[in-house]
Amino acid sequence: MRVVLVGPPGAGKGTQARVLQSTFGIPQISTGDLLREAVREGTPLGKQARIYMDKGELVPDSLVTSLLAERMEKADCEKGFLLDGFPRTIVQADAIDAELGRRHQQLDAVISIVVTRQELVERLSGRWVCRSCQAMYHERFTPSKRSGVCDACSGELYQRSDDTAETVNARLEVYERSTAPLLSYYRDRTLLYDIDGMGAPEAIAQRISMTLKSLSPHTAA
Ligand code: AP5
Ligand code: MG
């Protein structure tokens, strides 16, 4: 099954992808995580990407699509994947179609996670992420048992540098301008499923799982 998770910053794409990857046995591919890894490693791509990410802008399409194409070559993508944060522009949507077309494959569903703006800002301002396993916490909604320490692997928790109020606003504007047009693009192709992203993460995961399981059997993982 090949699924895209789309939604504004803080909608819960990463949180949901981590749950769904074990439900459906397909990997989460987060371009945000891949880019942050490249930044951490100081690769040439990471150095370029950082300039955009720090400002809350999109990294140029050519850089992100080549990163994604490379990741899709790995064996764990054979049965499918959950794309988290890609595509984010129409150019990227066309690129994934071309990439899949080369393999005689196609997308099965695009899940749009819908959350109010007030909730997005609240979620991002309280987010903590594990440096080792990338598990996600929220200081108020889903806190770790010990402050600053990951429940899953005891790794150190940190706050993303693009979660400052100023950069969050820039990211939300970029979403409206560049990514929201994808919703009608996929709706027109009858691939889009709107999911209420408010409430407990488990309830949202249940809504998404039910939607994906209701797709025709040939798309099941
Ligand atoms: P990326 O890492 O993809 O960030 P984003 O889209 O801004 O989304 P976030 O990761 O901030 O939010 P999320 O929806 O994953 O929410 P999460 O689950 O963490 O991209 C970062 C940057 O990389 C971009 O700005 C851009 O520069 C670049 N980039 C990446 N992909 C690109 C692309 N394709 N093209 C160009 N540039 C690209 O949840 C947020 C918080 O809320 C957490 O604390 C979580 O615990 C909490 N939470 C989640 N669900 C709930 C719930 N139901 N109730 C209460 N709290 C919840
Ligand atoms: Mg994310």
DSSP 178: I
Q: How far is the CA of 110 from the centre of ligand 2 (A)?
A: 16
The residues that are catalytic are 13, 88, 127, 160, 171
pTM for the structure as a whole:
0.95
Query: Cβ(110)–Cβ(3) under 8 Å?
Result: yes
Parallel, antiparallel, or unpaired: how do β-strands 136-138 and 81-84 relate? unpaired
Q: Whole-angstrom Cα distance, residue 172 to residue 54? A: 14
Question: Residue 52 belongs to what domain range?
Answer: 28-76
Specify the number of domains making up the chain.
Answer: 2
Q: Whole-angstrom Cα distance, residue 194 to residue 208? A: 9
Q: How far is the CA of 30 from the centre of ligand 2 (A)?
A: 7
Based on the fold, state whether residues 63 and 112 are members of the same structural domain.
Answer: no
How open is the CA angle 13-113-86, to the nearest 5 degrees? Answer: 50
CA distances from 143 to 17, 117, 126, 129, 146 (A): 19, 21, 9, 11, 8
Q: How far is the CA of 69 from the centre of ligand 1 (A)?
A: 21
Q: End of a domain among 76, 108, 138?
A: 76
Q: Which atom of ligand 1 is nearest to the CA of 56?
A: 25
Average confidence (pLDDT) per 10 residues, the chain, 221 residues: 97 96 95 95 96 96 95 93 98 96 94 97 95 93 96 96 93 97 97 97 97 75 50
Based on the fold, state whether residues 108 and 12 are members of the same structural domain.
Answer: yes
Q: Which ligand is nearest to the CA of 120?
A: 1
Based on the fold, state whether residues 124 and 182 are members of the same structural domain.
Answer: yes
pLDDT of residue 215: 87
